[in-house]
Amino acid sequence: MISKQLVKKNIYYRRSFDHFVYHHIFFKSVSGNLFFSRKIFYKFFEFFMNYIFYTKIYKHCLMTYRRRGILNYFCLSRMMFKYYAVHGYLSGVQKLSW
C-alpha cells in the first residue's frame, strides 16, 4: 500500500507539471525572439531555470494506488478491474476468458 506522503507528492507533481507547460511555452517564445540581446536572454534563462523542471508523473490505481498494470480507461489495476468486473460493478464489461 502506498503511503499518504507519496500520494501528496504525486498530486504536487501533477499541479507543478501544469505550471511547467506554461513556463516552457513562454520560455520558447522568448528564446526565439531576436529583439532581445544575449545578455538579457541569459539573465532571463538563469531566473527561469529555478522554476522549470521535469517531473515524472505516475498513473496509479484509484483503489490500491498500485502503479503497475493500470487500465487507463478505468484507472484501475488489473486485479481491481477483475474484481469489479466479476461482481458486476462495471457496466458493459463481459467475461471472455480469465
Residue 64, pLDDT > 80, answer: yes
| Whether 65 contacts 77, CB under 8 Å | no
Alpha helix positions (H), the chain:
4-31, 38-48, 78-86
Q: Which residues make Cβ contacts (< 8 Å) with residue 31, sequence separation at least 6? A: 41, 45
Would you report the helix, strand and coil content of the chain in percent, each value rounded to 5? 50, 5, 45
pTM of the model: 0.52
pLDDT exceeding 70 applies to what percent of the chain? 81
Work out the pLDDT band at 83, boundaries 50, 70, 90.
very high
Q: Which cell is 92 given?
A: 458493459
Residue 70's beta-bridge partner residues?
77
Q: Copy the grid coordinates of residue 64.
A: 490500491
Sketch the domain layout of the chain as residue ranges.
Answer: 1-58, 61-98
Res. 46: pLDDT tops 60: yes
Contacts of 32 (CB under 8 A, 6+ apart): none
